[in-house]
Amino acid sequence: MQITEVIVDKNRRELITRGTPLFPCAVYFSDITKYITGDIPWHWHEEIELVVVHSGMMYVNFGETGITLRKGEGIFINTNILHSMRIVGKEGCHLITIVFHSKIISGPQDSIFEQRYVNPLLTCQSLSFVHLSPGTEWQNNIILCILKAYTIYTEDDFGYEILVRDHLSKAWYYLVKNLQSDITRHYLKENHDTERIKKMLDFIHNNYSDQINLQQIADAANISERECFRCFERSIGMSPTVYLLKHRVSIAAKYLINTNMSVTEISSLSGFNTPSYFSKVFKNFMLCSPVTYRNKNE
């Protein structure tokens, strides 16, 4: 299954339903170049995410830190962690991804699995993500579990849910067994930057079509313009102005693909003062004009 955009609510929480209520797990084989903006924008979700790079290279950004993944490497992304992904290099990037709710492996609430093995990792402050390298045996075991679970899921044979859960449980076992010291030492608490950035992103996503300024964005988190700028740079690696423009361009791209509205109408709805400025900014981000982009995606 290929996703071409990340649908989020006002707080950047992803809204896609994973699997079914009875089996909340989904797998994806994704070509990052097919996403509207050519990358996977900032988002977070309650589910756990396991990724293996099938081809190319990818940078996963967590704000104050990030990591470049090469072909064959993988990553564990913990619950509720704000992150984005982009291609490194020119050859593109394909990903194998499993996104699942922790209850698949934790079982009933307050079970021994939940209390002893699942919740301690979910709430570990130092483990927002774990890099998985084929050169480290236990990490390679997790990569193999991800690939096996993906294959079994896509084959859709009788009882596949049992086998997928088995491999996800094994992957979790390797994680908690080898990260016990980190898990014991730390517990997850949202820092001030996380709380602030969610409020400011919320404001931008609700008001991008208006002529908003830096002071208004800062006011959403009750901080100064200077601290707003620093918070954006620390958290998502770009200024609030650049983020606002990029978000407006992504909205405009959806209008270009899904409606017959004119470029002038789309420019206004997306928050740009003039069609000429809209076209200039759109080309900076998308490497083509709005008209060319629409024609390529008809």
List, as one string, the DSSP characters of 105-152.
HH-STT-HIIIIIIHHHHT-TT-SEEEE-TTSHHHHHHHHHHHHHHHH
| Residue 95, token pair as written in the block | 């990903």
Structure tokens at 261: 């509205």
Tokens at residue 265, please?
A: 């109408």
Q: What are the C-alpha distances in Å from 184 to residues 77, 174, 181? A: 19, 16, 5
The pLDDT value given to residue 11:
54
Q: Are 48 and 77 in contact (CB under 8 A)?
A: yes
pLDDT of residue 187: 44
Which residues, other chains included, contact 56 with Cβ-Cβ below 8 Å and sequence gap of 6+?
A: 32, 71, 87, 88, 89, 91, 92, 93, 94
Residue 13 confidence (pLDDT): 58
- Regarding pTM above 0.75, the answer is no
User: What's residue 188's pLDDT?
Assistant: 45
* Token pair for 288: 């083509």
Q: In angstroms, rounded to a whole number, what is the distance separating the alpha carbons of residues 267 and 253?
A: 10
In the predicted model, residues of the chain with pLDDT beneath 50 are 187-190
Where residue 226 falls (left for φ over 0; alpha for ψ -120 to 50; beta otherwise) is alpha
**How much is the pLDDT for 162?**
97
User: Where are the domains positioned within the chain?
Assistant: 25-185, 192-296
pLDDT score for 198: 85
Dig out the tokens for 276 from the structure: 């000429």
Q: Spell out a b/e string for 165-196, using b for 16 or more CB atoms within 10 Å of the CB, else e.
A: bebbbbbbbbbeebbeeebeeeebeeeebbeb
pLDDT tens digits, 141-199? 999 999 999 999 999 999 999 999 999 999 999 999 999 888 876 544 445 777 788 89
The CATH superfamily holding the domain 192-296 is Homeodomain-like (1.10.10.60)
Q: What is the pLDDT of residue 190?
A: 47
Instruction: Provide the token pair at 206.
Output: 């609700």
CATH classification for the domain delimited by 25-185, as one of 2.70.50.60, 2.30.60.10, 1.10.10.60, 2.60.120.280: 2.60.120.280
Give the pair of three-digit tokens for residue 60. 């996963």
